[in-house]
Structure 1
């Protein structure tokens, strides 16, 4: 079968190789991949891993089952090896879904959606609270803003203009002078945007970071603890959250149902066939598009 592997070449970081079909281990099923999402973390891995390494977390496909004629569409979180014809995934990370038809948008949901859910759980109850979400032109921030609004929060977005939304928008450059205090900040940008967002946080509020896309050191006011007594600061990294009890399949099923009912938009703005993977990775590296990218396999 065919699978994507790394090359070690920054200009062409992946190639398609022939590899053996995986043999499912205890509790695993084989998923035939029809499409997969591309995450910034995979771009980083493609640049750092040794040549010949596998890639891929977000998978949309069908369960391979020789004993049944039934085709079951699934959304899965693979273990860094999902960019292939077939991948073995533990059942605890596979959700059977209604038929998505020709759409491949669901392929962008696993990492972004699961990270967003983990961040909201970390922040605690948000119904009736004012919530600021940064980076909403990206995957995690975009899903977070939608889920927080659906959970009953009053949501403010910090986003690029290319991200379509009906939610209020706060310009990142004017955050510090809006004068509006917030109960919770969800930040995936970092740098000066996080600093400005922190200035709006109420005492005993919560700031949950899910990334640092600007790749800058974190700066907070010198007296941040005195000025914001009781504030909580935390970082959510999805793969640190995935213990044995993590409800991955249940969460994927729930996210898929919200997508199917039109209540959740993964904000996919780029869809390519498999020969466009390196173009997509290059465009992601150069920040040439906003939103999520999906590769039809």
Structure 2
């Protein structure tokens, strides 16, 4: 029996329970991992509370990513041996696999032998953020040197990964944040400019920064009224990539800016990368090379103990964090 975090109904962080569960051995193509740490993602709080792109099958596990030691192999797995230190790229389904626990099974295809220079805490929270940023910015938007990209909710782990990804290819990241509290930290993290949306007009500031040209790319997990603001800040033939729905307000289609500027609106999930083996291989190489060179470096905001999972989820939803929240096991 292993301690596993599960929930039996939709709700707030209090629905998360630590339970003794008999975890089955890994199936064909899977590995069993003794979890040392796992990163938290806002998508997990949405899965726990609803609505989300997947529906829980109760009692439900959750958790997209983690790091630990391989303890057993399923049939057909040849690339790992027990004792390997691995970190996990989020698999395609949170309802089938979940990292919140002492032990978890994962498809071997999404496990990576992470660099020995990373701690368990760092390794547990790299793949969701960097694969999400890489797939959107590099694979879809073809971000290149000299491009201007607007990154909203920039103090999140994915937002910070997007800033680093833009810097890695020589692009200009413009970060947005609601208040000025995180402005200095965002500049220190590599943002070329920071726009405080409660104090500044987004389109006007982007126009000033780009001398009227606008941004070719916007990378946004907020939606709601933010989409209209982004449309006003875009260059002709620009692309807005929506990868979340953090706003509780309706998301109107900014039809006239879309028509006038010939904008592309692209809904996006990290799964676009994971489903495509060639893209996934390129993502792995980009991230591993970036970690090795130091161009990519995970920013850890706060670490919680396993027994503090409810407190950790409350903190996740507080929007206070700057970077990744990690839970150690």
Query: Does the alignment reach a TM-score above 0.5?
Result: yes
Count of residues in Structure 1 that have an aligned counterpart in Structure 2: 296
> For residue 150 of structure 1, what is the aligned residue in structure 2?
168
> For residue 301 of structure 2, what is the aligned residue in structure 1?
269
| Segment of structure 1 superposing worse, 181-190 or 79-88 | 79-88
Residue of 83, 94, 102 corresponding to 1:85: 102
Decide whether aligned partners of structure 1 residues 127 and 57 sit closer, same or farther in structure 2, where only a CA change above 3 A counts: same
Residues 132 and 182 of structure 1 are in contact (CA less than 8 Å); yes or no, is this contact kept in structure 2? yes
**TM-align CA RMSD:** 2.6
Any idea what the Cα deviations from partners look like across 1:71-108, whole Å, max 9, x if unmatched? 32211135531112222211210111222454512212
Decide whether aligned partners of structure 1 residues 112 and 166 sit closer, same or farther in structure 2, where only a CA change above 3 A counts: closer
Asked whether 1:239 is paired with 2:278, we answer no
Unaligned runs of 5+ in 1: none
1:163-242 superposed matches below 5 A: 163-164=185-186, 165-167=189-191, 168-172=193-197, 173-178=200-205, 179=207, 180=210, 181-229=214-262, 231-239=263-271, 241-242=273-274
Residues 195 and 202 of structure 2 are in contact (CA less than 8 Å); yes or no, is this contact kept in structure 1? yes
Q: TM-score, normalised by structure 1?
A: 0.88
1:59-74 superposed matches below 5 A: 59-65=66-72, 71-74=83-86
Decide whether aligned partners of structure 1 residues 4 and 270 sit closer, same or farther in structure 2, where only a CA change above 3 A counts: same
Residues 127 and 152 of structure 1 are in contact (CA less than 8 Å); yes or no, is this contact kept in structure 2? yes
Relative CO higher for 1 or 2, CA cutoff 8 Å, sep ≥ 6? Answer: 1
SS at the partner of 1:118? Answer: helix
Decide whether aligned partners of structure 1 residues 254 and 244 sit closer, same or farther in structure 2, where only a CA change above 3 A counts: closer
Residues 155 and 321 of structure 2 are in contact (CA less than 8 Å); yes or no, is this contact kept in structure 1? no
Q: CA deviation at 1:40?
A: 1.0
Decide whether aligned partners of structure 1 residues 253 and 35 sit closer, same or farther in structure 2, where only a CA change above 3 A counts: farther
Unaligned runs of 5+ in 2: 51-55, 74-79
